[in-house]
Structure 1
Amino acid sequence: MKTKQILRIVLLVGTPISLYFVPWTLLFAWLAPLPGTVGEEVQASLKHDFDGILVYVDQKGAEPEYYAAGWHNREEEIPARPDALFKIASIGKLYDAVLITKLLGAQRLSLDNTLADYFPEWVGRIEHAERITIRMLVQHRSGIPNLTDTPDFWINPPKSSEEALKRVLDLPADFEPGAAYAYSNTNYLLLSELMEKVLGYGKFQYMQEQIFQPLGLKNTFGSLLEVNLKELMSGYYIGVEEDIKMTDYGSMIATAEDVGIFLRALNEGSLFTGDEQEIYSSIYVYEHTGLIPGYQSIARYHKDIDTVVVQFVNTTNFDGYTWSLSEITFNRIGKILRKRLGA
């Protein structure tokens, strides 16, 4: 049976018996005695059915710390490497929000302009296009349906942005523009299209100019086509034996270190000039998570201890308990760091 067929069965059926045990699994994970070091916690997290985990810690004034446990590639028994590339999924929205901020600061975009102002051809195809503002897109308040919720998206992902957009064209809105909040990947697909229209060239080139080059990031990429696949950490979905890293959902790819360097610059404001910091603060958040089949990630700045922590886990499942266990592990690492610093 092919990977897509198996994944379809797992996604549709799930593993009902695990639902019974999940609360106890989470409770035991949360209440387990806290080890003395981050490295011990990372190693202990493998009992949560994680195939592999990477953690990057950047405490202000100290040398960065790198941790890895489990497998980089399970089939070939290659141990996890802290410098591995990883699909960062929705963490990429932080980078997009920075680019939007740059264009706003340069007055090449306006938050109050509407989708129809830039794409009149979508009037009638995207409900309320003439009322949906750029601000609403950035803040997930547009009401446009989420393209990743459309049938079979994860089984047969679209091969282009045009194909992805077709999945939501002519669908009714989830709510009136600005009336509610609902996370929608469609918003950021549209923002990417908008940026490229305004720029006249690729968004990722602009990202290199505005983010990667100033920060010296050399291990962040726009797609699978740009990377050495041996450097990309394998991705696993519980119930599917095969490595699914070649399934392309359009995610950015980066090392934990590169994400951590970016996140610190974002939170400290060194990425911005003029009034860009104020603009960014008014439109988007300063931390993010990412989740696609085989890859889950958390990138967060702990202001109270001036520490950036990035965590990658290369295992996901239908029921979501691996996500909950990943969050528990991340929070326990935060406790260890605070205890170490006497905070």
Structure 2
Amino acid sequence: MIQIFHNTRIYVMAPSSFSSGGPELLHQLCHKLEKLGYDAVIYYHPHAENPVHPNFVKYNCKYVTQLEDKKEHVLVMPETFFFMAGQFKHIRKCGWWLSVDNLFKTKEAPEHYRYIKKLGLDGMYKWAIMTGQIKGRFSYHLAQSVYAVDFIRKWGMEAGYLSDYLNDSFLQQSRANIHQAKKPQVLYNPLKGLAFTQKIMAAMPEVKWIPIQKMTPAQVGELLNESMVYIDFGEHPGKDRFPREAAIYRCCIITGKRGSAAFQEDVPIPEKYKIEDREEHIPAIVQMITVCLTDYKHHINDFETYREWIYGEEAGFEKDITALFVRS
């Protein structure tokens, strides 16, 4: 529970002029907080002349480039900004884990932490980050995935669950085109798990493979809408959006078991569609892709519960906000 006083302002820290899934979620939080009657603003970093990315103008969030470092206020910081927590002395800091893995990839981590990583001491690197940047610096923790909740608990801390929801334009477009014919093609994200995905592709040269890249959200929706299968053997550092976007456009979803994909609460698809990304499992993955392409109408029914769960995420998000940000 995050205590909100009558004079509390909630600052949601976000990167300036940058668009991706994480920054969009930060704007969604600020938008919902304002809608629910809280005093909330986006706090952009670093300073920029026009910090609001065009993709986020629709959220109509108030913003600042400086904050009042006072104990009555709350600063929500995504994990990519955790390294800055020590700069704020009085404000109550809330770490929002939009991912786990990305915390340890932050380029701005202190130099001595990067030195530990260069030595190849991954365990010590994580220990240095968690003890030096996290423990003792945050009053609260929130987690976008059950995967993150589990990770935080392993370090002796607790986190409230505050996930996310898909852009409403995606939901509306997916409902509007529900009867479009599907093509026997497989989509993948080339930024995640590409090396292993290429091995699967090599084993199925007869299949049409399409990377999801360099597209507008509308173009992504059109591609998902005409395709039968989406695979994701990446790290799943948080509860990723691509599998959910593919699901609402009626793609069969096949994933590995890394990160959040290992948690049924984060990726609630039947277990048979989750196959560990190991070389000896490639034949099983090939077989699963094949049956989804050849008997699509049968297999797509297995994802109906997942789709309904996705459509309910926005209402759940608002409910979680009111339970976590408690007015005094």
Q: TM-score normalised by the shorter chain: which range applies? A: under 0.3
Q: Which has the higher contact order (CA 8 A, sep 6+)?
A: 1
TM-score between the two structures when normalised by the length of structure 2: 0.24
- TM-score, normalised via structure 1 length: 0.24
